[in-house]
Structure 1
C-alpha cells in the first residue's frame, strides 16, 4: 500500500466524500493535480459528469457574481462601476492593462463599468473558470493570445478590438472623440498587446501623428474596425503591396497611405492622387 502524509490522507477522504469514488481513484486524480483538492474534484466531474459540472459551475459563478453587486435590491443582475473595479482588483489587474479589455470582451460587458450576470456566467463557463483562482489562472493565456500577431476576425485580438469600440462609446453617441480613440489605440496596438510596428515603419506613431495633424474630431465604427484590418495587412507586408486606390478603404486610410509613403521617402501623396 502506498504511504501518504496526513495532509494527503485528508485530501483523499475529502475527494471520496465529494465524488463517492474509491480511494485509489481519488489518489490518482489528486496526484495528477498536485494534491489540489478543488482542481482534482472539478476535473473529475468535468470528465465524468459534464451536466453536473455545468450546473455546479453556474451556481459557483452566480454566487461569485453576487458578491460584487453594487445594488442587489434594484439591480440584482448587474455589477456596477464600484463592483467592477473591485472585481478587477481582486484579479490582480489595473485598468491600464490591455488584458482587462479582453476580459470585458469575453464577459460581454455592455460598458466599461458594468457586468451582467448572463455575460459573467456564460463567459467564465466558456473559459472553464468557475472560481476567482481559476480566473486568475486564465490571465497568462489571455495575454499571450492578445499579443499574438494574428489579426484574424475570429482571434482574441480582433474580438477585443471590436468590442472596445462599444465599451468606449459614450451613451447616445455613434463615434469616439479622437482623444479617446487614440488612448485605446495606444493600449491595443502596442506591447504588451499587438505591436503595430515593423522593421522600417513605426505604424502606430505615424498613425497618431497623421490623425493629430489632420485635425480629425471623431472616429466612426467603420474607421475603427478598418484600422485593425489595415494594421493586420501592414504587419504582413509593410511595403503595402496589397493596397489599391480602388479599394474600399475609408478615405482617411487612403490618405494615410500617402502620408506613410512620404514619411518613408518612397512616394508622396501627390503620386497617389490624394489630397492631403
Structure 2
C-alpha cells in the first residue's frame, strides 16, 4: 500500500485521530469536516497544519481563503510594528528582532531562533523580510505573538529530536551566518553556531549515532549505540583553536554533522579512505593523540 493510501485510510474515532483533529481545528480555525480530510491525508497534525496553508486542493472550503487573508493582515500588521523600530528599509532589522525576542520571552541567543530563522527564510542574523515573515508564520499556523510564542516549543522539540529537521536548520545556518561576500565562516563564528546547535541535538537525540548502510536510505539507518557528546564538541573546538586556519568551508560545515552522527565515541571505526574533508581527517588523528580514547 502506498504511503498516501495508508494515510488516507487512517482509522477515524481513535483517540490519536481525534486528538489530531482537535489540534488541527484549534490552530487553523478550520471546520471539523476539513480537519478530518487533512488528517486522513497527512496523518500527523503538524504535517496537516503546514499542508493546510500550502495545499489548497485538499478541500474547497469557502472559508479558507478569507481565513488566510485574515492571517496575512494580522501578520503584516505585526511585521510593520517590528520594522518600524529599525532603519533597514523594507525589512525588520536587529532592533525589531530584539523587540520580538522580548515579546516572545526568549533570549536572542537561544538556539530555537535558528529554527525560526529557517522557517521565515531570514536572509541574515536579526533580519526578516515581509514575505518570509508572513509565509513562514502562516505555514506554522500562527498569526499572533501568543501563537508565535507557543510555536517555539514545537520548533525546539523538532530541532532537538528530529534529525531530518535538525539537518535542514543546520545546513541553512551556514548561509544565514556567512558574511556577505565571504565563501567560508570565520572559525569563531562557526564555533558559536556549533555551540548552539550541537548540544541541543545531543541532548534531544537528533545526533544519536547511526550505523551507515550504503544500501539503505537515511531513514532506514539503525541506531548504533553511544556516539557524539558535548565532550567531543569541546575536543573539536580545542582542535580548531590549536590548528588555526582562516575559516570553515561550506563542505566542512555540511559534512561535519554526518561525521558527528556516524562516528563511535573513541573514533575506532573512522575510515580515512572515506570522502571526508581533510580537516576532519586531521581532527581524528589529532583527537586520538589528545584523549578521545578517554571519553
* 1:199–1:218 distance in 2 versus 1, CA, 3 Å: closer
Specify which of 131, 135, 145 is matched with residue 148 of structure 2: 135
Contact 1:175 1:220 in 2 (8 A): yes
- TM-score scaled by length of structure 1: 0.71
The more displaced of 246-255 and 53-62 is: 53-62
> What is the aligned residue count?
223
Q: Let me know the Cα RMSD of the aligned residues.
A: 3.0
CA distance in 1, matches of 2:96, 2:278: 41
Does 1:238 find its partner at 2:265?
A: yes
Question: 1:261: Cα distance to partner?
Answer: 3.1
Contact 1:168 1:180 in 2 (8 A): yes
> What stretches of structure 1 move > 6 A for 4+ residues in a row?
71-74
Q: What is the match of residue 72 of structure 2?
A: 58
Specify which of 237, 240, 245 is matched with residue 211 of structure 1: 240
CA distance in 1, matches of 2:180, 2:271: 36
Does 1:264 find its partner at 2:292?
A: yes
Specify which of 180, 186, 194 is matched with residue 171 of structure 1: 180
Question: 1:50: Cα distance to partner?
Answer: 2.2
Q: What is the match of residue 270 of structure 1?
A: none
Does 1:93 find its partner at 2:106?
A: yes
* 1:205–1:73 distance in 2 versus 1, CA, 3 Å: closer
SS at match of 1:79: coil
* 1:73–1:203 distance in 2 versus 1, CA, 3 Å: closer
Contact 2:27 2:142 in 1 (8 A): no
CA distance in 2, matches of 1:220, 1:95: 26
SS at match of 1:243: coil
CA distance in 1, matches of 2:151, 2:228: 35
CA distance in 2, matches of 1:159, 1:99: 13
Specify which of 115, 118, 125 is matched with residue 102 of structure 1: 115
Q: Deviations over 1:109-130 (max 9, x none)?
A: 0010210011001111111011
Does 1:226 find its partner at 2:255?
A: yes
Question: 1:70: Cα distance to partner?
Answer: 3.2
CA distance in 1, matches of 2:144, 2:232: 40
SS at match of 1:189: helix
Question: 1:239: Cα distance to partner?
Answer: 5.5
Q: Deviations over 1:91-121 (max 9, x none)?
A: 1111121001111111000010210011001
* 1:131–1:75 distance in 2 versus 1, CA, 3 Å: same
* 1:187–1:73 distance in 2 versus 1, CA, 3 Å: closer
Structure whose CA Rg is larger: 1
Contact 1:109 1:116 in 2 (8 A): yes
Contact 1:168 1:176 in 2 (8 A): yes
Question: 1:64: Cα distance to partner?
Answer: 1.4
Contact 1:102 1:156 in 2 (8 A): no
Q: Deviations over 1:208-239 (max 9, x none)?
A: 111111122211111111111111223xx435
SS at match of 1:218: coil
Unaligned runs of 5+ in 2: 1-21, 36-60, 209-225
Contact 2:228 2:261 in 1 (8 A): no
- TM-score scaled by length of structure 2: 0.67
Q: Deviations over 1:44-93 (max 9, x none)?
A: 497553222222212221121111113799834x1112112111221111
Question: 1:260: Cα distance to partner?
Answer: 3.0
Contact 1:70 1:80 in 2 (8 A): no
CA distance in 1, matches of 2:247, 2:172: 18
CA distance in 1, matches of 2:175, 2:127: 12
